[in-house]
Amino acid sequence: MNLQFGSGEYDHLKCKKQTVWETKFSKNSKNMKKLLFIAITLLFTATISAQNVRVARNKIVVDGTEIASIERLGCRAASPQCIHYIRNSEGNLLITVVEMDFSDPTEVTQFNPNGVVRYLRFSFADDGGIAEMLNPAMLNTRPIDVARIVAAARLINDNELNEREVRNFIQAHGTHFSDRERELDRSRIIIHH
């Protein structure tokens, strides 16, 4: 059986192959264009909304504007505690951030054999609200770590706490770390002989 293209018998297969390939290519091309558009949009949005946060001489500076002062107590390698005090320009305390930890058996891994959970506890001066979040620092919590969180959440505005953003921050983060710690403490049974 001698089959040749152009004889009419396989012309439709050749056309089908081209059509299928062209369809796949055009679908992939459309998907790639959509993906590229989304990536560029996200990059552009992140660039525009990115804040320049730094700590200079115990001052939190966001996009060139000083928003508060920050002082720390402890926060060294051998320190038993780490506390950051954030104050407005008049020296009034706005936020106290305390580094805390506890052992949770559900968090035990090869890299964390004691199951230590490190978190930051934010206490707000105005209403006494509290929020907790996982500590982003692997070792010592630095003022810049705390400053980035405060700036990203927009907790301070016009030299005072931004009440709406503070409420959002408290609702978003809650106190699930200290709740878990209390839960673990209640579940431990102490037997005295």
pLDDT-based confidence at residue 186 (cuts at 50, 70, 90):
confident
| Per-residue model confidence as pLDDT tens digits over 38-91 | 656 555 444 445 679 999 999 999 999 999 999 999 888 777 889 999 999 999
Q: Which two tokens stand for residue 104?
A: 């949770």
Q: Where are the domains of the chain?
A: 1-50, 53-187
Q: Order of strands across the sheet with 82-87?
A: 53-56, 59-62, 65-74, 82-87, 93-103, 116-124, 130-134
Do the Cβ atoms of 82 and 140 come closer than 8 Å?
A: yes
Tell which wins on pLDDT, 188 or 103. 103
| Per-residue model confidence as pLDDT tens digits over 3-41 | 555 555 555 555 555 555 455 555 566 666 666 556 565
Do the Cβ atoms of 120 and 97 come closer than 8 Å?
A: yes
Task: Using CB atoms within 10 Å of the CB of residue 177, give its burial: 0 to 12 exposed, 13 to 18 middle, 19+ buried.
Answer: buried
pTM of the entire predicted model:
0.69
Distance CA 31, CA 27 (A): 6
